[in-house]
Amino acid sequence: MEKNELQNGDILLCTGTDLIARLIRWGTGSDYSHVAVVASAKLGLIIEAVPKGGVRAIHIDNYKTSYVIFRVLDPSKVNIIGVVGYLLQMLARAYDFKSVIKLGWKMFLRKIRLIKLLGLKVSGQKQSANGLQKQEDYFCSELCYKAFYFGGGLDIVPNVEDGETTSPADIANSPLIKRVHSIDRLVKF
């Protein structure tokens, strides 16, 4: 797939090979450990949240990981211009280490099945769509979720109770997106 076949709002679900990526994949039972969103298909620009640098824009040719391209099934249900606008407004925000730890704890408890056994509730309900959020840090799947939810008006993970702790696996399992294509790269993420 060439970059001219990408579309604005495409979701890139990535398979990393480093320790953190392997832990994310183990914890979620998924092939995916990272997510990014295409902000400009024409320019080959994607936006993501990463530990080193926070929310950043990067050219697709400089993306050094294998990824699968997903796309919203019904484009009439989402405002892609709003999604991209949200992503652009979040550039240079810090990485959300606190929520990553919260997500990791939630995944760990799920993995050992303590949540159901003890009847625990790890996190709150999804926030209502109240416009763009201010002064927030982001991790990758949280940024994707919020861009579609607040910017695009689409709850991309309707089966997930708490959007604040959305994982790449949750996005991959969304009934609202479809797999379009995959790109294999042999470089460590």
Domain boundaries, the chain: 3-121+135-183
Q: How confident is the model at residue 133 (pLDDT cuts 50, 70, 90)?
A: very low
In the chain, the amino acid numbered 141 is S
Q: Which two tokens stand for residue 36?
A: 């990014």
Question: For residue 125, is pLDDT > 60?
Answer: no
Residues in the chain, how many? 189
Question: For residue 124, is pLDDT > 60?
Answer: no
Interhelix angle 97-111/19-28, rounded to 10 degrees, is 50
How many angstroms separate the CA atoms of 50 and 95, rounded?
Answer: 6
Mean local confidence (pLDDT), 167-174: 91
Higher pLDDT, 121 or 34: 34
Question: For residue 121, is pLDDT > 60?
Answer: no
How many angstroms separate the CA atoms of 100 and 140, rounded?
Answer: 9
Convert the pLDDT of each residue in 174-185 to its tens digit: 999 999 987 775
Convert the pLDDT of each residue in 72-97 to its tens digit: 999 999 999 999 999 999 999 988 77
Residue 188: its pLDDT value, please? 41
Answer whether 62's CB lies under 8 Å from 50's CB: no
- Give the right CATH number for 3-121+135-183 from 3.30.70.270, 3.40.640.10, 3.40.190.10, 3.90.1720.10: 3.90.1720.10
Q: How confident is the model at residue 136 (pLDDT cuts 50, 70, 90)?
A: confident
- Give the Å distances, CA to CA, from 177 to 12, 62, 114: 11, 25, 30
Q: How confident is the model at residue 128 (pLDDT cuts 50, 70, 90)?
A: very low
Convert the pLDDT of each residue in 46-61 to its tens digit: 999 998 889 999 999 9
The owner of tokens 């991209």 is: 84
Distance of CA 164 to the CA centre of its chain: 11
For 183, half-sphere exposure in the C-beta direction (CA atoms, 13 angstrom radius) is 20
